[in-house]
Amino acid sequence: MMGLKDHTALVTGGGSGLGQAMATRLASEGIPVTVADLNLDTAQATVDTIVAAGGRASAVAGDVSKQDDVTAIFAHGVKTYGDCTLLCNNAGHAEQKPFLEITVEDFDRMLGVHMRGMFMCAQAALPPMLEKGDGVIINVASQLGHLGAAGMVHYASAKAGIAGMTRSMAREFSRTGVRIFAVAPGATRTPIFDTISDEWLAAKAAELPLGRFAEPEEVSETVAFLASPLAAAFVGQTMNPNCGDYMA
């Protein structure tokens, strides 16, 4: 147990992949988790798994790139479990396209879900955290934000922006009791792989120092650590569970 017992968590994109693993891992600490996703059925499936294991969780549908949906997601969480004190800003999607084929709409959608979505969720979560002088926000970036990614310029740009937003927020709120981090996973086996070409994945697997992709549960352990008092001396860092792809 990581000492999270006073937290109330909200995980966006909790119906699949990394978000599902984060919600399940946090619930295993005995804390209630609101699972938000575009897809209510998959969010509910995560909740069912958590409840079957003896945990507490509640599902809500919403698109984090839309202000009204963000408001509704947080209203559901507050009504069900009280103010969110642990936000995992995880919802996202990936897309591979040559730079000259990325439309302005593709670009706006990528930044809208990743950067604007995380920004709006953080704005929704922060006021009660600041009032309590306690809270944790974890923004899910990507190693591609460090490395850059040919064929995924809009995705890598959004993820680099998330790391910068995280550092800036951490500087602004570091003395309030609210702790803010980013986690930048490397390639991790989730349904997001369906959007990435087999060639890209094979090339990436071949160059990884560990010689394998990460599993969602390995990333969710990083989240549990950052959320815990064990990470009290970390401020604004981007943690990199990535099988050695980017070492910093």
Residue 130 or 193: which CB sits closer to ligand NAD?
A: 193
**Residue 7 burial (C-beta neighbours within 10 Å; 0-12, 13-18, 19+):** buried
Segment 53 to 92, residues that bind ligand NAD, using CB under 6 A: 63-65, 90-92
Written as one string, the DSSP assignment of 61-85 is E--TTSHHHHHHHHHHHHHHHSS-S
Q: Is 8 in the site for ligand NAD (CB under 6 A)?
A: no
Q: Considering the candidates 155, 173, 181, 213, report the single residue annotated as catalytic.
A: 155
Q: Is 138 in the site for ligand NAD (CB under 6 A)?
A: no
Q: Is 42 in the site for ligand NAD (CB under 6 A)?
A: yes
- The one among 17, 55, 135, 241 contacting ligand NAD by CB under 6 A: 17
The number of angstroms, rounded, from the C-alpha of 128 to the middle of its chain's C-alpha atoms is 20
The two three-digit tokens of residue 166, written as one number? 């995280």
As a dihedral over the C-alpha atoms of residue 218, residue 223, residue 227, residue 232, rounded to 10 degrees, the angle is 80
**Residue 52 burial (C-beta neighbours within 10 Å; 0-12, 13-18, 19+):** exposed
- Which stretch in 3-11, 12-20, 99-107, 168-176 sits in contact with ligand NAD by CB under 6 A? 12-20
Half-sphere exposure of 42 (CA within 13 A, CB side): 18
Size, binding site for ligand NAD by CB under 6 A: 29
- The one among 58, 157, 190, 237 contacting ligand NAD by CB under 6 A: 190
246 tagged catalytic: no
Tell me 240's DSSP state: -
Backbone phi, psi, residue 53, to 5°: -90, 5
- The one among 142, 166, 238, 240 contacting ligand NAD by CB under 6 A: 142
Q: Is 10 in the site for ligand NAD (CB under 6 A)?
A: no
Q: Is 29 in the site for ligand NAD (CB under 6 A)?
A: no
Q: For residue 136, what is the enclosing H or E element?
A: strand 135-140
Strands 57-61 and 33-37: parallel
- The one among 2, 7, 9, 15 contacting ligand NAD by CB under 6 A: 15
- Which stretch in 14-22, 77-85, 202-210, 230-238 sits in contact with ligand NAD by CB under 6 A? 14-22
Q: Is 245 in the site for ligand NAD (CB under 6 A)?
A: no
Q: Which residues bind ligand NAD (CB under 6 A)?
A: 12-13, 15-19, 37-39, 42, 63-65, 90-94, 113, 117, 140, 142, 185, 187-188, 190-192
**Catalytic residue numbers?**
155
